[in-house]
Amino acid sequence: MLDNLNFAVKEGEFLCIVGPSGCGKSTLLDLIAGHLKPQEGEIIVDGEVITSPGVDRIPVFQEHGLFPWLNVEENIAFGLKFFGSPPKDEREIIKEMVELIGLQGFEKAYPHQLSGGMKQRVALARALAPDPEILLMDEPFGSLDALTRSELHHEIQRIHEETNKTILFVTHDLMEASLLGDRVILLSHRPSHIKKEVKIDLKRPRFKHHSKVISIAHQMEEYLKPKP
| Alpha carbon distances (Å) from 97 to 159, 211, 215 | 11, 34, 35
pLDDT tens by residue, 67-111: 999 999 999 998 787 766 655 688 899 999 999 999 999 999 999
Those residues with Cβ within 8 angstroms of residue 51's Cβ, 6 or more apart along the chain or in another chain:
34, 37
pLDDT band at residue 160, thresholds of 50, 70 and 90?
very high
Phi, psi (degrees; rounded to nearest 5) at 137: -110, 115
Q: Encode pLDDT of 37-78 as tens digits.
A: 888 888 999 888 998 988 899 999 877 789 999 999 999 998
Domains, in order of start, for the chain: 1-56+133-228 (3.40.50.300), 66-131 (no CATH)
pLDDT of residue 2: 79
Q: What is the DSSP letter of 111?
A: G
CA distances from 163 to 58, 112, 134, 175 (A): 15, 28, 11, 23
Task: Please say whether the beta carbons of 93 and 86 come within 8 A.
Answer: yes
